[in-house]
Amino acid sequence: MRGAGRRAIRTATPEDGRKVQGSGVRGQEGTPCLASVSRITIWLNPARTAMPPITFALILLNVLIYVMGQFTGPDIVRTFGLWPPGSSGAFHYWQLITYSFLHGSLLHLGFNMVAIWMFGAELEKRWNDLRYLLTYLLSVAVAAMTQIAVSGYFLHATGPVIGASGGVFGLLLAYALYFPNRVITLIFLPFIQIPARTFVFGYGLIELFLGVTNTAAGVAHFAHLGGLFGGWLGVQYFRGRGIFGRRK
């Protein structure tokens, strides 16, 4: 079984000349792009990774919106991409969620959807449907707010952010908490097998370092970190731990 690993949001140039934070692989000219910078393999039982309903709905919705975006061009990003306040686009509150359903290339769409399937399907089967959906959307929203707070106000980013990376990172964090000893194997380094908990912890440190040092301009490292934090918040809320207290 193969899943998607690291997600990056890098810069692509749309037809109107404004920068869009997307991935390193470009789609059609004039459209924002997102892609995976690395991949992972997870050895799972195929029977346990069958498509549950919410996971299927998320993937289907992302695919349908991607197809629709091929007809609308950059207009869909101007309306539903995440534009930090003060940027060259108009910010609306719905963008805290809608940006995550926009993808600029088939390559990145595929990697993100495989990641949602590989990590999300396991979690949805362990949780109920509502808990899974709320945790995913919380990760998306916290990733957006983190990116706005850090990139918009401190790094003064002017372009929109798109992509499901925040939700994927939230699922990855939750997966590591519930399945800490599941093995993640890098495709390009198959002899290295990393427990999910160790992988996520190390990945988070790398993202923090790259974000603080502003390495790889155009990559939304803080959105990735925000997604991890959103996933953690969702897990703690439904477990009734920490600031949320014991749930009845």
Q: How many domains does the chain have?
A: 1
Per-residue pLDDT at 215: 63
Query: ∠60-61-64 over CA atoms, to 5°?
Result: 85
| Alpha helices (runs of H) in 102-193, residue ranges in sequence order | 106-115, 121-126, 129-147, 165-178
The enclosing H or E element of 60 equals helix 53-72
Per-residue pLDDT at 58: 97
Length of the chain: 248
Q: Specify the pairing of strand 35-36 against strand 7-8.
A: antiparallel
Per-residue pLDDT at 138: 97
Per-residue pLDDT tens listing for the chain (248 residues):
433 333 433 333 344 334 445 433 333 333 333 333 333 444 444 445 468 999 999 999 999 999 999 998 888 999 999 887 777 778 889 999 999 999 878 887 888 898 899 889 999 999 989 999 999 999 999 999 998 888 766 766 667 888 898 999 999 999 999 999 988 877 677 788 889 888 888 878 877 776 666 665 556 667 888 999 999 999 999 988 756 666 54
Non-local (6+) Cβ contacts of 119 within 8 A are 3, 168, 171, 172, 174, 175
CATH assignment of the domain containing 199: 1.20.1540.10
Non-local (6+) Cβ contacts of 125 within 8 A are 48, 52
